[in-house]
């Protein structure tokens, strides 16, 4: 689990999201195609996620 201070506006790659959540990149890609998981979008051909969206998704999943 990542414990360093975070910038809510930080843009993460899908690989970084995988490292933070402990989920495989393939799992995250599958979740994305089903409309599940943290909100992600494509920027210049790469899947991205705002850190604040990831943090909100993690918090919601804990409940």
Question: Which pLDDT tens digit goes with each residue over 44-63?
Answer: 999 999 999 999 999 999 87
Per-residue model confidence (pLDDT) at position 4: 58
- Residue 15, pLDDT > 90, answer yes
Backbone angle region of 35, left / alpha / beta, with phi > 0 → left and psi within -120 to 50 → alpha: left
**pTM, whole model, 2 decimals?**
0.85
Question: How many contiguous H segments (helices) and E segments (strands) does the chain have?
Answer: 3, 3
Task: Give the three-class secondary structure for 19.
Answer: helix
Return d(Cα 8, Cα 21) in angstroms, integer: 16
């Amino acid at each position: 689990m990542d414990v360093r201070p975070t910038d809510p506006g930080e843009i993460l790659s899908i690989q970084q999201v995988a490292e933070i959540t402990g989920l495989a990149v393939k799992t995250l890609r599958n979740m994305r195609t089903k409309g599940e998981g943290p909100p992600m979008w494509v920027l210049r051909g790469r899947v991205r996620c705002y850190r604040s969206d990831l943090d909100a998704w993690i918090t919601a999943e804990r409940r």
